[in-house]
């Protein structure tokens, strides 16, 4: 593949910055997709500070006017849309405008985050946490985030060996230790628990092995943030013919947990009787 082909193949991964692909061209061939991505990021990180600031500066504001107006790069459009940043309420839009302005005023470049790895609350947390950084640390953080963004884009574009892991996994398992086996037919709901609202992400029912037929989340990064699983165990025990008081001691069991590793495996089982339960981060 010649330089033009190489550049074309990577077009759109690093927005508006063809010199990244050009800089990595000489280092070909790459044994793995992960090595290719590391080489691309090494090109960015080796540039002088002004160039790195300009590089970060080429990214759009999160939840900003450009996102609303649809004038940002196509990949950014769908990424920001996934988090609902293109349809913020006016109050939320204003909050993002204020944070973006404060951030730009402090650092001289826009706030960049890999929103596919974050819930909206986690974006706001990151804003606040990162506003406390000094410029150098923050520049490195911004470039790390661009690393996450471009790694995801690259994995979707390029095929080959050694694809870096960009997907997390959330799974569960319900064990009924009153009867001594998997709990079948338990209705489960998964919510994202935001500071001001909760959103139902998924519903599922356990199969004969007490698991869901497919993991609750699989194949994509888990968004950092807070979640709640609700297990409808009262109906399960009633269906099994277990005598329960009215109301049952346990009916809808909520398990609230945080996700901090977007590429991690979170196994959150429920070991339950009509009178007790336990959970833990499993594997």
Beta strand pairing status for 225-232 and 187-193? antiparallel
Task: Tell me which stretch binds a copy of itself (CB under 8 A): 7-15, 40-48, 159-167, 269-277.
Answer: 269-277
The CB-of-232 to a copy of itself minimum distance in angstroms stands at 11
Only segment of 2-10, 23-31, 194-202, 250-258 that touches a copy of itself (CB under 8 A): 250-258
What number of chain residues touch a copy of itself (CB under 8 A)? 44
CB 155 within 8 A of CB 163: yes
Residue from the set 45, 87, 179, 198 that interacts with a copy of itself by CB under 8 A? 179
Q: At residue 71, what are phi and psi to the nearest 5 degrees?
A: -105, 20
Orientation angle between helical segments 135-157 and 49-57, nearest 10 degrees? 60
32-40, 55-63, 194-202, 271-279 -> range binding a copy of itself (CB under 8 A): 271-279
Nearer to a copy of itself by Cβ, of 20 and 222: the residue is 222
**Closest separation between CB of residue 182 and a copy of itself, Å?**
5
Annotate each residue in 157-176 with x if it binds a copy of itself (CB under 8 A) or - if it does not, as one string: ----------------x-x-
Q: Which is nearer to a copy of itself, 28 or 179 (CB)?
A: 179
Residues 45-64 binding a copy of itself (CB under 8 A) are: none
- Within 8 A by CB and 6+ apart from 190, the residues are 170, 200, 201, 202, 203, 204, 216, 217, 227, 228, 229
Residue ranges in 186-245 that form contacts with a copy of itself under rule CB under 8 A:
209-210, 224-226, 228, 245
Note whether 249 binds a copy of itself by CB under 8 A: yes
Where do the DSSP E strands lie in 107-222? Answer: 169-171, 174-176, 181-182, 187-193, 198-205, 217-218
* Residue 84 exposure: Cα atoms within 13 Å on the Cβ side: 11
Residues contacting 79, CB < 8 A, separation 6+: 114, 115, 116, 149
* Complex with a copy of itself: residue 86 or 251, whichever CB lies closer: 251
Binding residues among 121-150 for a copy of itself as defined by CB under 8 A? 122, 125
If one asks whether residue 283 binds a copy of itself (CB under 8 A), the answer comes out as: yes
Dihedral pair phi/psi, residue 192, rounded to 5°: -90, 130
Q: How far apart are CA 281 and CA 227, in angstroms?
A: 13
Stretch that binds a copy of itself, among 14-22, 27-35, 198-206, 249-257 (CB under 8 A): 249-257
Is 66 in contact with 122 (CB distance < 8 Å)?
Answer: no
Segment (H or E) for 20: helix 18-25
Q: Which of 6-14, 69-77, 107-115, 259-267 is the region at the interface with a copy of itself (rule: CB under 8 A)? A: 259-267
Could you list the residues that contact a copy of itself (CB under 8 A)?
A: 122, 125, 173, 175, 177-182, 209-210, 224-226, 228, 245-254, 256-261, 271, 273-283
């Amino acid at each position: 593949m010649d330089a033009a082909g190489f550049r074309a193949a990577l077009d759109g991964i690093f927005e508006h910055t063809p010199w990244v692909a050009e800089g990595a061209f000489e280092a070909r061939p790459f044994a793995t997709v992960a090595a290719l991505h590391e080489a691309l990021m090494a090109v960015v990180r080796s540039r002088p500070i002004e160039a790195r600031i300009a590089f970060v500066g080429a990214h759009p504001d999160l939840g900003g006017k450009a996102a609303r107006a649809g004038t940002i790069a196509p990949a950014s459009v769908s990424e920001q849309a996934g988090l609902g940043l293109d349809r913020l309420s006016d109050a939320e839009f204003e909050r993002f405008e204020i944070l973006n302005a404060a951030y730009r005023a402090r650092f001289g470049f826009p706030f960049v985050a890999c929103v596919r790895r974050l819930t909206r609350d986690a974006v706001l947390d990151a804003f606040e946490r990162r506003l406390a950084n000094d410029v150098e640390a923050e520049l490195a953080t911004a470039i790390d985030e661009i690393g996450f963004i471009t790694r995801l884009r690259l994995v979707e574009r390029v095929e080959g060996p050694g694809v870096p892991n960009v997907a997390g996994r959330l799974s569960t398992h319900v064990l009924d230790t009153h009867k001594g086996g998997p709990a079948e037919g338990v209705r489960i709901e998964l919510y994202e628990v935001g500071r001001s609202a909760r959103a139902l992400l998924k519903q599922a029912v356990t199969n004969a092995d007490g698991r869901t037929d497919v993991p609750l989340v699989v194949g994509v990064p888990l968004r950092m943030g807070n979640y709640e699983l609700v297990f409808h165990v009262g109906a399960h025990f009633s269906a099994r013919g277990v005598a329960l008081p009215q109301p049952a001691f346990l009916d809808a069991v909520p398990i609230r947990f945080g996700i901090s590793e977007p590429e991690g495996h979170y196994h959150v089982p429920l070991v339950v009787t009509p009178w007790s339960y336990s959970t833990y981060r499993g594997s």
